[in-house]
Structure 1
Amino acid sequence: MPSPTATHNQPTPFPLTHFHSIPWCHALLTQKHILHTSTPDRTPLPSAEAVLVRETLNTPHTVRACVTYLRYLGRPNESVGETKARPFLECAALLDLGLGVSGFAKTAHGGVLAVMLDEVLGTAANMQAEKGAYTASLKINFKRPVKLPQVVLVRGRVERVEGKKIFVKGTVEDSEGVVMGEGEALFVDVGREIGRWTSQEEKEEKEREREGWAKL
């Protein structure tokens, strides 16, 4: 288990420790085939990118804590575009939502669900893109109200890759695994460096992950 750290500029000082203290989250974070667990850094960027997730939704009243993980699900169906070097991993995020993301009273705004799905599905898509991918379309089905405050699980996985088109699906779930929202998205591999994906540290980490996938 990675050592907790308080250097990620999240409202909760030790996000990973926080989620491990919640039984159902701990079970997810310790399941088999977890390849990587991460605490996203919410420090504002000098370029003013990602202000929505790094600042607006990074308060004690909005998203109070967030951790992510990657899980290898195998390739039983040999999905279109999937290779050993770039398997379609499950990308997931645990988010502790506060009352500050409400639309109706004590109920998460649908736009917040869209942001969460776009971020997670985008992470899955970017792992299939050499340099980066943009969201071309995002469709969401709202299945149940997301009551607040609540910890939710957002999952995403690439379904197929056709040329520069990357098709991704995902869900927003509660502690019981009940699906409260579903998302389908199309991302386009732009073939050039884009935005926050260009830092040297992120490039090196992405390359290390891909080297690890090739050994699966």
Structure 2
Amino acid sequence: MVFLRTPTITSAPISPEAKAAFGSRTSPLWCRQLLVDSRLSPVLVGWRTRDRARTKEDSYLSGVMNDPDTIGAWHTLYRPLPDTNHNDNNDDNGTSPLAGELLCLFSLGSGVNGHVDVAHGGVTAGILDVAMGTACSIFSTEGDSNFTLELNIRFKKPLATPGVYLCRAWLQKRTTGRKAWLQALIEDGNGEVYAESDAFWLDVPAKPKL
């Protein structure tokens, strides 16, 4: 596999709320196994810790969706895949699959309900989108902004609340320029898929400082 851009991984310690949700003795076994897997690298996600007193960026995610009754905990891990079949995966457009994926653990509360004890579909869409956005950003030039241009979602099963789930996201291909295609799915950690998505993203270069 060809890396068109090296991933920018910024490590971050697990937060107290994430440790309680995913690493306690009452947490699902698959959660605890992910947290102790030495092959995985914790990834800092800026939207979760934005200071709303200093910026209005990500206010929906860092405010409304950062609460024990909505998304009570979130923890992102990066899993590299074996680097095999060099140069065999390029297509005619000069694109290449990403040799790795993000694993986003998250806990949902009853504040995201649509139907009784079922997460609203818009929340599911938002989780898929932000996971793919994070995957896109770590393979972008530092300082660039990433925007969703197209998002397709297939709902498989209702997301029961409260509950703990896993969103997997990866970069399927990208051009040497600004275009990126990503995929993601939400599962329970044991392979039961609740929703899956594919998306088309665009990198927008940062404006030069005068």
CA change 1:18–1:43 in 2 (3 A) is farther
Could you say which residue in structure 1 is the equivalent of 2:124?
Answer: 113
3-state SS in 2 of match to 1:14: helix
Q: Does 2:68 match 1:60?
A: yes
CA change 1:55–1:30 in 2 (3 A) is same
The number of aligned residues is: 183
Identity %: 30
8 Å CA contact 2:50–2:57 kept in 1: the answer is: no
**Over aligned residue pairs, what C-alpha RMSD do you find?**
2.4
Q: Does 2:105 match 1:99?
A: no
3-state SS in 2 of match to 1:59: coil
Which of the pair is proportionally richer in helix? 1
Q: CA deviation at 1:62?
A: 0.7
The aligned amino acid for 1:34 is L
Q: What 5-or-longer segments of structure 2 have no aligned partner?
A: 1-11
- Tell me which of 19, 22, 25 is aligned to 2:22: 19
Residues 111-150 of structure 1: pairs in structure 2 closer than 5 A: 111-130=122-141, 131-150=144-163
Could you say which residue in structure 1 is the equivalent of 2:205?
Answer: 191
- Provide the TM-score with structure 2 as the length reference: 0.78
Q: CA deviation at 1:45?
A: 5.2
Q: Does 2:34 match 1:28?
A: yes
What are the Cα deviations for residues 125-171 of structure 1, in whole angstroms up to 9, with x where unaligned? 11222123211111000011111111010110001112321000010
Q: Supply the distance in 1 between the matched residues of 2:180 and 2:150 (Cα, whole angstroms).
A: 11
Q: CA deviation at 1:14?
A: 3.5
What are the Cα deviations for residues 169-192 of structure 1, in whole angstroms up to 9, with x where unaligned? 010011422010001011111122
The aligned amino acid for 1:16 is K
- Provide the TM-score with structure 1 as the length reference: 0.76
Q: Supply the distance in 2 between the matched residues of 1:150 and 1:191 (Cα, whole angstroms).
A: 38
